[in-house]
A and B are shown apart, each in its own frame.
Chain A
């Protein structure tokens, strides 16, 4: 297993929104989804995830309400809002553009060595 990397600031929100963009999930589902997608490569406490969810709920990017899990347990389900989708779209675009520039520069430097 590769070394886990600390999360670049501000990207957690994007990852969570990405997770919710498929389907409404409760907190643990989001955590599990992220772990699966990253192959455990992200260094992230679970409480940080909840903080991100709560923060985005306040900002109206996600909405939450109680629902039932498949095993009939009461869980708080998060749904991405239209504002959240828009946020995800623009922020991902910016982030990708940013990484592309970073990669260009860092990639060139590596070749030059």
Chain B
């Protein structure tokens, strides 16, 4: 009798139904035979005995059927157990192998982890920005965003138009409009903060299919014009921060821009508007728009008001976005025909519909492009990592040919051998995947610390099940692939032949494959190195760009419009702020302005010469500035004087050149055409040096400055600019104190140095530069390791040849050449392919380069030089080992 456990080792595949049936029949037959024999011994005739045996056995067919069923079930269970047992055995085998050569395993795991980590980080960002649904929204894929103008968000629609539009688009089951309102406030009696708020039409929460966490949402009645109920829904975030997360929040008062609202509900966790990057914390019914903006209530009834800027709609069941768009355009044309005067702007502005919500339509394409670029980079690294690990596994597979052959000869099936390799590959890849998930968190910190694509720094956990399953799937695919490679190698070998001469070295057929992998690695690393070099030079050039002013100026933004200040009141406030901040000891220079470069909103300004037609007015950017502005900003005055009175302009050098060429602008007149047919006239009193206000890449912008008293009433923001001797934190505290003294109700919407804004403006380049440099260094390192593996293996294979050569007195140079030639050929091929690849692939980053050509020869040469160094380093050890070969030893080895 054989012990069942032993049996398992030999007969490794499960038994088929045929075997089960045969066994069953044999068992029954034996039983009946033995029974008949026994009965005959007790004196029965053969026939009687047979009959009695059958009777005692019971109904044969029925029994056979049932036993067969049971046996089949048992066999399949056994098969499963055996398979699990075999896998467990392979896992033990793999772990033992890994522990025997920890260096190799560590290298493989770490290499994979890097590749998986970077790719996963890129994917998790893509997931967070593009794929994850907006929290609390039902069936988000049926939602669409409507814009009233093609390719541009910001042309508003009046409430009256919106009402007329909504009911007559059959492809849309419901739609809602919302308008962002600048708001500052908080619970009554608490220092106000700037809060993101929107006024929403009645169906807003219904369209989104949302349920409140606590309380209720505004009723259609409250949200329709005429309903003046001041109610507000708050986000979970400010419910916690402002109301302490108290469930009794319903009925609490919330003061917004000086009006008291009653809290009626709390929105779902994480919901901050239809954009995933939204910052909305308060929702108020549409009629609240007018009081919040300090506008007359009647504005809600004006057809030409253009209050609602953004629209979200839910498609009717079975309807498609294109259908809805056609109907929307038809309906809008109808409204233009019905109200030609009020709706004149919609004659040329054609509405558009975009599928899906989550990311601002304008940002979707850019974000997708940037993220796919990052994913691509991650995949390149992963490719290098994979080929490295494949190389290592191939080498190991070759070393283990003997072991495999022994197992094969002892009866292990090809499938079983394959499984052993698969288990090892998957084990390594999974370890890499786990470590990679950790690394991806580190990579994400890179993004978190920097503003990414001008998006606000994100918060919260961004590793969700999608990301983790992505990392897992990636590792599994890699693991399986890696298991297959050595198995494939094993398959190609002749087992018995191997068994015979296993210890003897021979060059396997895999050498070509390993060489190809090495070349691919070098090529990919070259592409990354060149890309990194180009981006590094871009960043350097960008950081050297002279903005034309002092970037260290600290800016404080406030908006008195939130408090309903009139233009005169606002002017008085600006002067009061200037005076009060100037009194702070330690502050050297101070000015107030409508906004500041790179941090605030810039507004355009159309100007023409007095004798010109309005149509040829040229666009400039304008800042309204107080006395001391140019000194604070460090902008040198070139001609004339700087203090400004209303009706006077200081112009920047690029503007002056645009308007007057080389002639002096001082004393010249300019005219501003104003909407409605009137004009404003200005006299130029000063000329200042040019500055960059939006982008480091473009040339200096044409800028004009006018008096702070000339700010139009609608531009209610004020920026305080400060140059201080004090540490930044102290300056911020003192200025905040001073502002509170002047107007306690005023909240800051921004506190930042201009260089903070500049950093944001080149955030993408900085991020990309950092990421690519990191990847390139890793890639070069990995490629060098891969090359090292190939070269040292080849050298080891030729130990005998080298030994003989040395014994025969070959010069050292010849030995070096023998070993290094292979490395040299591989490296040159890799570098060549890499350069060609870079010429082609750098097109992807061309738009991000600045101050350096895509085909910059210096960068290409530098990358080549770096690589040749890496190759030298990779070759050095094998060469040294070859030189130390003891001829006698190497020959005895055979």
A is bound by B? yes
Q: Which residues of A contact B (CB under 8 A)?
A: 24, 26-28, 31-32, 45-48, 50-51, 54-55, 57-58, 63-68, 73-77, 79
B residues 46-63 near A (Cβ < 8 Å) are 56-60, 62-63
B848 lies within 8 A of chain A by Cβ:
no
Give 18 new A-B contacts, CB below 8 A, not counting A28-B31, A47-B60.
A24-B1, A26-B30, A28-B34, A45-B56, A45-B57, A45-B63, A47-B57, A47-B63, A50-B27, A50-B31, A50-B63, A51-B70, A54-B71, A58-B74, A66-B23, A68-B1, A74-B26, A77-B1
In the complex, which residue of chain B has the Cβ closest to the Cβ of A73? B30
B residues 1-34 near A (Cβ < 8 Å) are 1-4, 7, 23, 26-28, 30-31, 34
In the complex, which residue of chain B has the Cβ closest to the Cβ of A24? B1
Once the chains bind, are A46 and B58 in contact (CB under 8 Å)?
yes
Q: How far is the CB of A48 from chain B (nearest CB, A)?
A: 7
Q: How far is the CB of B28 from chain A (nearest CB, A)?
A: 8
Known interface pairs A28-B30, A58-B74; A47-B59 also in contact (CB < 8 Å): yes
The contact sample of 14 A-B pairs, CB cut-off 8 A, is A26-B30, A27-B27, A27-B30, A27-B31, A28-B34, A50-B67, A51-B67, A54-B71, A58-B74, A63-B4, A68-B1, A75-B27, A76-B26, A76-B27
B149 lies within 8 A of chain A by Cβ:
no
| B residues less than 8 Å from A74 (CB atoms) | 26, 30
Q: Which residues of B contact A (CB under 8 A)?
A: 1-4, 7, 23, 26-28, 30-31, 34-35, 38, 56-60, 62-63, 66-67, 70-71, 73-74, 77
| A residues less than 8 Å from B58 (CB atoms) | 45-48
Known interface pairs A51-B63, A65-B4, A74-B26; A46-B31 also in contact (CB < 8 Å): yes
Docked CA distance A78–B874 (Å): 63
Docked CA distance A66–B73 (Å): 19
| B residues less than 8 Å from A47 (CB atoms) | 57-60, 62-63, 66-67
Docked CA distance A28–B37 (Å): 12
In the complex, which residue of chain A has the Cβ closest to the Cβ of B77? A58
Q: How far is the CB of A95 from chain B (nearest CB, A)?
A: 24
Once the chains bind, are A55 and B70 in contact (CB under 8 Å)?
yes
Q: How far is the CB of A43 from chain B (nearest CB, A)?
A: 11
In the complex, which residue of chain B has the Cβ closest to the Cβ of A67? B1
Q: How far is the CB of B64 from chain A (nearest CB, A)?
A: 8
Known interface pairs A45-B58, A74-B26; A54-B34 also in contact (CB < 8 Å): no
| B residues less than 8 Å from A31 (CB atoms) | 31, 35
| B residues less than 8 Å from A24 (CB atoms) | 1
| B residues less than 8 Å from A77 (CB atoms) | 1
Q: How far is the CB of B284 from chain A (nearest CB, A)?
A: 68
Once the chains bind, are B70 and A58 in contact (CB under 8 Å)?
yes
Q: How far is the CB of B31 from chain A (nearest CB, A)?
A: 5
| A residues less than 8 Å from B62 (CB atoms) | 47
Docked CA distance A74–B60 (Å): 21
Docked CA distance A68–B31 (Å): 14
Once the chains bind, are A46 and B70 in contact (CB under 8 Å)?
no
Docked CA distance A75–B31 (Å): 9
Known interface pairs A46-B58, A51-B63, A63-B4; A75-B30 also in contact (CB < 8 Å): yes
In the complex, which residue of chain A has the Cβ closest to the Cβ of B68? A54
In the complex, which residue of chain A has the Cβ closest to the Cβ of B74? A58
| B residues less than 8 Å from A55 (CB atoms) | 70
| B residues less than 8 Å from A45 (CB atoms) | 56-58, 63
Docked CA distance A32–B38 (Å): 10
Known interface pairs A51-B63, A58-B74, A65-B7; A28-B35 also in contact (CB < 8 Å): yes
